[in-house]
């Protein structure tokens, strides 16, 4: 049943019950009822006066105006019992009145209730009925002479029935209006509260209602605004936390006490190979023992120290910390690159030691032999030549290591200019002409017209082409070595060297640009190679913003090429 109907029926029931009760007891208690009604009337009048008594109203004037309007004596009493207004006295008379704090009706009103009493007035000398009600500034009291009440009683018997019927009708109408006025804002507040509960924070309650309904509407409006602001703040904080977590190189995994993954960043997904949408069960985490033990330890409320575990070919450091709510956070660090770098460093030290040990052994051995006085002049000359050759080889290794270190550390910066590729190719071919003749290798250059000029450091380009040509001659016998240059569709110039030599096995091809890496160590050392040429080529090309690549077929030859930016301006002789 709707609220309006319930209020109306309740009011109707009250009215009917009151009417029947009055009819039943009227004969025996009419006088008492009339007295009670008289007190009630006076109480209502007193409440009206109390409502009008505000700090902005002068109490003496209010007492006189209300007394004339009501036809009764009106008295305004402060909380300390001092009379500040009385419709029967002027200001001087009011000042002479006794303190009313001990009047029975006033004492009751001071307790927050309606007080009434009947006695002889000290100032008037007649029996009067006093009714006092609490007011914001004290007590408002209305009094009536009992003679007038007795007269009313004498005429009341004939009018009771009519008055009861009229009062019931009016009360019923007022109850209907009141029920409608109360139920309408309550229904609106109900609908607004439901909308807010469903997440529609743009729905605002009406705040035009008065009284408690208006207060409730205002409170609901404030709650909606604060809830919206807090949700926006939480959303902003969540976005910030998500951005920070996603920007970390370390993997972050948050697990609840029920072993449900609540948050995981991209790095952790990559390391663990997880694709499930959060939240998902922690059972999807790889079953490596170290990983599971760290999680179980943190879920028991203890921190787990760093441990290493291999997951899907990655070496991962795992650390786990408990959360206050019983969950846990896993921090994952990918150690794969670090371990690979450590391996490269170990290999580098081993390779350098190995490369230098052979010439040092030769130099030391022949130097010791030369110290013998019995060595012939012919052997002495040959031994000195071998010492000089190995010394030059060590010097070349050291120089190339220094060049490589300078390039990697940024100590060398290219100074690009327009360089003629054809001239550089001819110069590189000429420098190896003697070795090419000994190996029965034919050298040639094919430079496209649109790729003749590149924008590069002249010295670096000479070293790149020279290293590639020397490397090709070193591994080619009875074949051809070709220096070429061509322009690709992106505008870059690709220049390289193609040979018809022994080729490189597919297993070795991805590593030929590493330091000291040789696909055929014995042949490379025998031909004077240091194993650093291609590594230097790679770093020089990348310093220009280009890239290198190698293609080879075992037994049919190898092609190594590098890209460079084209010339920055047209050349008149670029034909």
Q: What contacts 276, CB < 8 A, 6 or more positions away?
A: 261, 284
Please name which of 336, 337, 341, 302 lies closest in space to residue 319, comparing C-alpha atoms.
302
Predicted confidence (pLDDT) at residue 280 exceeds the cutoff of 80? yes
Give the whole-angstrom CA distance, residue 440 versus residue 450. 31
The distance of Cα 316 from the centroid of its chain, to the nearest Å, equals 26
Give the whole-angstrom CA distance, residue 187 versus residue 71. 43
Q: Which string of b and e fits 302-335 if b means at least 16 CB within 10 Å?
A: eebeeeebebeebbbebbbebeeeebbbbbbbbb
Indicate whether 19 and 49 sit together in one domain: yes
Tokens representing residue 8 in the block? 């109306």
Asked if residue 478 is part of any domain, the answer here is yes
* Distance linking the first and last C-alpha atoms of the chain: 99
Residue 227 vs residue 112, higher pLDDT: 112
Instruction: Read off the CATH number of the domain in which 377 is found.
Output: 1.10.287.130
Predicted confidence (pLDDT) at residue 297 exceeds the cutoff of 70? yes
DSSP designation for 49: H
Instruction: Read off the CATH number of the domain in which 312 is found.
Output: 3.30.450.20
Round the CA-based radius of gyration of the chain to a whole number and report it: 54
Give the whole-angstrom CA distance, residue 21 versus residue 2. 29
Scan for tokens 């959060």, then name that residue.
278
Scan for tokens 């729905």, then name that residue.
203
- The last residue of one of the domains, among 314, 334, 354, is 334
Asked if residue 191 is part of any domain, the answer here is no
Total structural domains within the chain:
4
CB of 501 closer than 8 Å to CB of 521: no
The distance of Cα 401 from the centroid of its chain, to the nearest Å, equals 48
Give the whole-angstrom CA distance, residue 452 versus residue 574. 7
Indicate whether 36 and 90 sit together in one domain: yes
Give the whole-angstrom CA distance, residue 432 versus residue 144. 136
Q: What contacts 83, CB < 8 A, 6 or more positions away?
A: 75, 76, 77, 94, 97, 99, 100
Asked if residue 546 is part of any domain, the answer here is yes
Residues 428-450 have a mean pLDDT of 89
* CA 312-315-318 angle, 5° bins: 105
Q: Mark residue 483 as left, alpha or beta (left: phi above 0; alpha: psi -120 to 50; beta: remaining).
A: beta
Instruction: Read off the CATH number of the domain in which 493 is found.
Output: 3.30.565.10
Indicate whether 374 and 327 sit together in one domain: no
Q: What percent of the chain has pLDDT over 90?
A: 14
- The last residue of one of the domains, among 293, 318, 334, is 334
Asked if residue 183 is part of any domain, the answer here is no
Indicate whether 395 and 464 sit together in one domain: no
Indicate whether 435 and 384 sit together in one domain: no
CB of 528 closer than 8 Å to CB of 518: no
Q: Is the dihedral of CA 293, 294, 296, 301 positive or negative?
A: positive
Asked if residue 255 is part of any domain, the answer here is yes
Please name which of 25, 74, 22 lies closest in space to residue 48, comparing C-alpha atoms.
74
154-180: pLDDT as tens digits: 665 566 667 667 777 777 777 777 767
Residues 554-560 have a mean pLDDT of 88
Residues 289-317 have a mean pLDDT of 80
CB-hemisphere CA count at 13 Å for 207? Answer: 9
Indicate whether 172 and 72 sit together in one domain: yes
DSSP string, 339-381: HHHHHHHHHHHHHHHHHHHHHHHHHHHHHHHHTSTT--HHHHH
488-497: pLDDT as tens digits: 887 788 999 9
CB of 129 closer than 8 Å to CB of 142: no
Per-chain mean pLDDT for the chain: 79
Indicate whether 422 and 531 sit together in one domain: yes
- pTM for this prediction: 0.39
Please name which of 562, 547, 394, 550 lies closest in space to residue 463, comparing C-alpha atoms.
562
pLDDT value for 529: 53
Indicate whether 314 and 356 sit together in one domain: no
Scan for tokens 């008295």, then name that residue.
75
pLDDT value for 524: 47
Give the whole-angstrom CA distance, residue 182 versus residue 206. 13
Report how far apart, in Å, the C-alpha atoms of 397 and of each of 152, 389, 408, 520, 533 are: 132, 13, 16, 18, 10
Domain that holds residue 481: 413-564
Tokens representing residue 184 in the block? 């309408």
Indicate whether 50 and 133 sit together in one domain: yes
DSSP designation for 566: B
Indicate whether 417 and 546 sit together in one domain: yes
CB-hemisphere CA count at 13 Å for 426? Answer: 6
Predicted confidence (pLDDT) at residue 343 exceeds the cutoff of 70? no
Asked if residue 575 is part of any domain, the answer here is no
Indicate whether 74 and 90 sit together in one domain: yes
Indicate whether 311 and 353 sit together in one domain: no
Q: Which residues pair with 418 in a beta bridge?
A: 455
473-521: pLDDT as tens digits: 888 888 999 999 998 887 788 999 999 988 888 887 877 877 666 655 4
Asked if residue 108 is part of any domain, the answer here is yes
- The last residue of one of the domains, among 392, 407, 422, is 407
pLDDT value for 157: 57
Asked if residue 205 is part of any domain, the answer here is no
pLDDT value for 134: 94
Least reliable range by pLDDT among 122-136, 364-378, 393-407? 393-407
Least reliable range by pLDDT among 97-111, 249-263, 359-373, 490-504? 359-373
Q: Which residues pair with 456 in a beta bridge?
A: 417
Alpha helices in 111-254 (DSSP H): 146-156, 160-197, 211-247
Predicted confidence (pLDDT) at residue 302 exceeds the cutoff of 70? yes
16-36: pLDDT as tens digits: 777 677 656 665 666 677 778
53-109: pLDDT as tens digits: 999 899 999 999 999 998 889 999 999 999 999 998 998 888 888 898 899 999 999
| 442-447/480-487 β-pairing | parallel
Alpha helices in 416-550 (DSSP H): 421-431, 433-438, 458-474, 521-526, 533-543
């Amino acid at each position: 049943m709707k609220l309006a109907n319930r209020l109306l029926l309740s009011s109707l029931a009250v009215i009917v019950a009151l009417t029947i009760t009055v009819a039943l007891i009227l004969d025996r208690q009419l006088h008492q009822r009339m007295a009670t009604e008289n007190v009630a009337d006076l109480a209502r009048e007193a409440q009206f006066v109390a409502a009008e008594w505000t700090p902005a109203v002068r109490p003496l004037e209010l007492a006189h105006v209300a007394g004339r309007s009501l036809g009764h004596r009106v008295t305004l009493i402060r909380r300390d019992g001092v009379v500040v207004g009385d419709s029967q006295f002027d200001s001087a008379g009011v000042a002479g009145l006794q303190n009313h704090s001990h009047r029975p009706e006033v004492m009751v009103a001071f307790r927050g209730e309606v007080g009434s009493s009947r006695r002889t007035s000290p100032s008037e000398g007649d029996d009067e009925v006093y009714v006092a009600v609490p007011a914001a500034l004290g007590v408002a009291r209305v009094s009536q002479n009992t003679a007038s009440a007795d007269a009313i009683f004498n005429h009341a018997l004939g009018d009771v029935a009519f008055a009861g019927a009229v009062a019931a009708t009016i009360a019923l109408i007022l109850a209907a209006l009141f029920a409608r006025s109360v139920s309408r804002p309550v229904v609106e507040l109900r609908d607004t509260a439901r909308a807010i509960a469903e997440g529609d924070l743009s729905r605002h309650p009406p705040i035009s209602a008065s009284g408690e309904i208006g207060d409730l509407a205002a409170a609901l409006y404030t709650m909606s605004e604060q809830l919206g602001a807090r949700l926006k703040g939480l959303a902003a904080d969540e976005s910030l936390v998500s951005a920070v977590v996603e920007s970390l190189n370390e993997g972050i995994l948050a697990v609840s006490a029920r072993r449900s993954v609540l948050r995981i960043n991209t790095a952790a997904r990559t390391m663990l190979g997880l694709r499930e949408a959060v939240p998902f069960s922690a059972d999807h985490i790889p079953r490596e023992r170290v990983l599971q033990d760290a999680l179980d330890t943190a879920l028991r409320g203890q921190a787990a120290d760093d441990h290493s575990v291999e997951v899907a070919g990655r070496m991962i450091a795992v650390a786990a910390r408990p959360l206050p709510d019983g969950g846990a956070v896993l921090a994952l660090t990918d150690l794969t690159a670090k371990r690979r770098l450590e391996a490269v460093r170990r290999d580098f030290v081993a390779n350098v030691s190995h490369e230098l040990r052979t010439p040092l052994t030769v130099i030391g051995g022949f130097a010791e032999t030369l110290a013998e006085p019995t060595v012939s002049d012919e052997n002495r000359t040959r031994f000195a030549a071998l010492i000089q050759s190995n010394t030059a080889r060590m010097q070349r290794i050291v120089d190339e290591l220094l060049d490589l270190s300078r390039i990697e550390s940024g100590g060398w910066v290219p100074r690009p200019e327009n360089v003629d590729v054809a001239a550089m190719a001819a110069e590189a071919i000429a420098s190896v002409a003697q070795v090419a003749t000994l190996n029965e290798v034919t050298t040639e250059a094919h430079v496209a017209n649109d790729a003749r000029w590149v924008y590069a450091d002249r010295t670096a380009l000479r070293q790149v082409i020279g290293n590639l040509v020397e490397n090709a001659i070193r591994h080619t016998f009875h074949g051809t070595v070709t220096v070429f240059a061509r322009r690709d569709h992106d505008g870059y110039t690709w220049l390289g060297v193609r040979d018809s030599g022994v080729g490189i096995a597919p297993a070795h091809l991805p590593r030929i640009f590493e330091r000291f890496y040789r696909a055929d160590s014995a042949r490379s050392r025998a031909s004077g190679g240091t194993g650093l040429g291609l590594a230097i080529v790679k770093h020089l090309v990348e310093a220009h913003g280009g890239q290198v690549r190698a293609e080879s077929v075992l037994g049919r030859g190898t092609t190594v090429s590098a890209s460079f930016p084209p010339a920055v301006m047209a050349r008149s002789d670029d034909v």
